[in-house]
Structure 1
Amino acid sequence: MVDLQVRPQVRVDTSPSRSKRGLSVSWRIIKPLIAIALFLGIWELAPRLGLVDEVFLPPFSVVSEAFVELIVNGQLWEHLAASLSRALTGFSIAIVIAIPLGVAIGWYKPVAEFLGPILELFRNTAALALLPVFILILGIGETSKIALVLYASAFPILLNTISGVRTVDPLLVKSARSLGLPALKLFQKVVLPAAVPTIFTGIRMAAASSILVLIAAEMVGAKAGLGYLITASQLNFQIPNMYAGIIAISLVGLTFNGVIVAVERRFSRWRPQN
């Protein structure tokens, strides 16, 4: 006889594991916030306790007031827009040029042999060392600053793209070729996805380099930009404004990095997330 008795379903309670995961995620978020709070607390107390000269390092609250004032009167937006337009233009052109060139050099040996010596020559030349050359050739306007950002951003992307393409697992390539994939599909389905993490490492390095180089260029010759804001504030002894400009640069760098990480995750959805 067939037993038609309905047996109760046993449900496994996973709430403890979920709560542990929730606590782990919360702690990962709280830890950096604690570190930032400690840093800002030390910044606030050190001048007030006389550990450092308050004239040269104002308390964080004073710098925050200056930061808000620069936002309200529009000065910060003006300088931020000038810096972002230069940085994003040079950075975008570097991505468009460096990634295809890096793929060609990494995949085709004749291209690598032809361009290798000139790349070795220029990659060991610091971008800031060429700043006077860019100014002499391109002038003191926007073109020289964008060209400098392009130069500083191109090499990290280029070198990491070459490395990413060359370190693709040969077994993956052989398997794809054995399945009859044409060259274009091989790049699209195998080589580029495998090289994406290394390429984005170069893009993140290039983003940081582009901001640092641009700020240095704006300190030398510019009438607007965050670098100009810092230098002008220092010369006019507006020390809180100077630190406000430095904070703005830090926030721009964090935003750049966050956007790039989000884009990398979008292109690396096939990878297991930690």
Structure 2
Amino acid sequence: MSSAVQVIEKSRPVVVRSRVESVAPARVGAPRVLRALALLAWRIFKPTSAIGLLVAVWEAAPRLGLVDEVFLPPFSTVAQAFVDLVQSGEMWEHVSASLTRSATGFFLALAVAIPVGVAIAWYRPVAELLTPILELFRNTAALALLPVFILILGIGETSKIALVVYASFFPILLNTITGVRTVEPLLIKSAVSLGFSPLRLFQKVVLPAAVPSIFTGVRMAAASSILVLIAAEMVGARAGLGYLITAAQQNFQIPNMYAGILAISLLGLTFNGVVVALERRLSRWRTESSR
């Protein structure tokens, strides 16, 4: 009987210890979850607070008489005009027209600029052949060539898409050249010593290492594709955000004009967000290798 009591007494601390060990992680994990939620809330609050402050100033300045309400309506008035344009379908008509032109020109420039940039950066004869003419056109502003595009290609869609291609081509090209030329030589030598073929070398070493620089050019080109297109639509178009802004200004529909400007900002933010997300996806190996 005494031996059985001793066995029970010895087993009790084990049970208590196991309970403490099972409760401890939950107590330790709760502050971590709260800390993570607080950090997420702070990350969301920082950018939204700046935007909220801008909206508040925009709303208050016309109502307090700091600016003329006719020429700068309160934000609530502009937001209502934006909602009205969306509900009537007019906003989507203009956004879809601008987005189609911008995306078509942007992707055409992307498809051409990256291969040309890689060829110029990797092969000296190609660089010696193409660099002079590319430098000539690079220093010519896209909008300065708008009359030329209209005269040659007409006032339709082709001239606007060609202008977007021209404006988007050079940021991607120059950053691709920089990214390929600045790849660490030791990485290339190591890959060659391992027997990588030229195609394999580009696929596994050169292009992944050049991705950050290439995406810098892609982000610049995405912004340029929208801005240049808006300017082109202000000159000659029957649909598009540029046309909406110009038509609203000429008809003195000031809230609609600001609604079109707001739509351009939202479109640009969307473009940038998609490009940044894609860059993080393709550059994930950098963060994983640095851990």
User: What interval of TM-score do these two structures reach, taking the shorter chain for normalisation?
Assistant: over 0.9
TM-score normalised by length of structure 2: 0.89
Cα distance, 1:14 vs. partner? Answer: 4.9
Cα distance, 1:15 vs. partner? Answer: 4.3
Deviations 1:41-92 (A, max 9, x none): 1101100000000000000011011000000111101111110110000001
Question: What residue in structure 1 maps to residue 147 of structure 2?
Answer: 132
Q: Which runs of 4+ in 1 moved over 6 A?
A: none
TM-score normalised by length of structure 1: 0.95
Question: What residue in structure 1 maps to residue 281 of structure 2?
Answer: 266
Match 2:220 to one of 199, 202, 205: 205
Question: What residue in structure 2 maps to residue 49 of structure 1?
Answer: 64
Distance in 2, matches of 1:23 and 1:109, equals: 53
Distance in 1, matches of 2:33 and 2:172, equals: 40
Cα distance, 1:267 vs. partner? Answer: 1.1
The 5 A counterparts of 1:59-208 are 59-208=74-223
Distance in 2, matches of 1:108 and 1:17, equals: 53
| Max Rg structure | 2
Q: Which runs of 5+ in 2 are unaligned?
A: 1-12
Distance in 1, matches of 2:230 and 2:93, equals: 15
Does 2:273 align with 1:232? Answer: no
Supply the AA of the counterpart residue of 2:89: G
Question: What residue in structure 2 maps to residue 58 of structure 1?
Answer: 73
Cα distance, 1:20 vs. partner? Answer: 3.1
Distance in 2, matches of 1:94 and 1:107, equals: 20
Distance in 2, matches of 1:14 and 1:272, equals: 25
Supply the AA of the counterpart residue of 2:69: E
Deviations 1:154-213 (A, max 9, x none): 000000000000000000000000000000000000000000011011000000000000
Supply the AA of the counterpart residue of 1:123: R
Supply the AA of the counterpart residue of 1:246: I
Distance in 1, matches of 2:285 and 2:108, equals: 28
Distance in 2, matches of 1:269 and 1:117, equals: 36
What is the CA RMSD across the aligned residues, in angstroms? 1.8
Supply the AA of the counterpart residue of 2:118: V
* SS in structure 1 of the partner of residue 285 of structure 2: coil
Match 1:29 to one of 44, 54, 57: 44
Distance in 2, matches of 1:197 and 1:18, equals: 32
Cα distance, 1:16 vs. partner? Answer: 3.6
Distance in 2, matches of 1:40 and 1:149, equals: 31
Identity %: 72
Deviations 1:204-224 (A, max 9, x none): 000000000000000011111
Q: Which runs of 5+ in 1 are unaligned?
A: none
Distance in 2, matches of 1:160 and 1:239, equals: 39
Distance in 2, matches of 1:268 and 1:38, equals: 34
* SS in structure 2 of the partner of residue 55 of structure 1: coil
* SS in structure 2 of the partner of residue 168 of structure 1: coil
